[in-house]
Structure 1
Amino acid sequence: MKLNCDVGEGFSTDSQLMPFIQQANIACGVHAGDDELMAETIRIAKNNNVMIGAHPSYDDRENFGRLPMSLDSRQIKQLISDQVVALQHLANKQQVEVEYVKPHGALYNQMMQDERIFTAIVEAISGFDETLKLMILARPDLQNYQQIAQKNGVDLIFEAFADRAYDDQGYLVKRSEKGALLSTAEQVHKQVKQLVETSTISTINGKRIELQVDSICVHGDNLLAVKQIEYLATLIK
């Protein structure tokens, strides 16, 4: 199991996080960041031997890519492709490979609830000459998603979240709802320890859900989780 983090989003925590994570989801200059910040984040990741992934989003910087949008499949494919290419271009300059894609914010959430959006993203990723994996939310009953990915030759990385609450269906509780973001170090520690030791998550209503998890995400904009990163890293070893 690995630790991943959303980085390159303009927060001052990237350098603190990199020594303790294995996967860096780098914003591609749309919901956050720009070429200069992307290049700097790649450099920090490279210096810490951290795997690089693209973190593309809806083109909605004003709302940090967190509001749902209605795009057709062609538009989604173009959105993903453009942002991955932008990060690849800068990574190649530093002789680093982009190894996976993890959509951001509303695009990520809608992908997990709409197979059409998921399919468009998978098809966009499969169109690259390089082998790219796709990071998605670990949930029960993902057989259809696995079949779509397999059909297109795309491997999936299943992730869970250290600092987010879950509903009884295994989705993340919406950020607008009370309790969506875990508010104490004890909650974060408990959630990660439970994931590592039992491969389960406890929902906001106390239900336990079994999950297949390859990587655990810590949000770079959650200072509580950032402060716990060194301890969390010891839990997944």
Structure 2
Amino acid sequence: MALIAMTAAAVMFLQNTGTVAGAEIAANEARRLETCVAKIETAPSEAYEDGLAWTFEGNRPGARQCTALALIALGNVEEGAIRLERLATAVDGGTMEQRALYFAQAGNAWMQIGAAEAAAVAFTEALKLMPATPELLLDRASAHMLIDRWSEAKSDLDRLIADAPEDGLAHQMRAEVFLNLGDYDAAMRDVQAAMAADPKNIDTLLVRGRVREAIRLKTEAGQRE
């Protein structure tokens, strides 16, 4: 999931103290975070400076989140991911939803630079806070697949498909997993399920071609024995 798109959800989760004054502070901070994050897409350097200025005013969680995301946008991905993980475990990190979001954003940042093992750890921490979240299960499965942890990826996708049997992407990804595990019949069943959800998906068609080729080669090998 895109980091900036995920941040839109963060605005909904800014901590509320339960008082009228607290609600007003939370609303102001939500607006400031939204403005800062929106600027990342067009002017990340300015967004980073805005985040720093906000940090100096009181080191608020929203300020730290925005500076971390701006760093990622500026290419300093590792530092941004580390800052998000620190924020997720900070005393003032906020609600479980907020903390899960920070971990998820860190995980997606790690994926950007191919650090799939670090990404899997971050997604796991997010799932501890928000179990069975479909997007997080897909993200962690993707990380597992990048480092050939096929059984772990299958476990995540099994959980997702059990709750959302018509999720075409999950079936497509599990077909890839089954292909690498050597279970070609199961892979083809998932290809068919993915195609039922989205018949023209190019990635699914590519997986289908690879599964068919694997079945052909297996059949030929069996005939030679």
Q: RCO (CA 8 Å, sep 6+): is it higher in 1 or 2?
A: 1
Larger fraction in helix: 2
Larger fraction in strand: 1
TM score, norm. by length of structure 2 = 0.30
TM score, norm. by length of structure 1 = 0.29
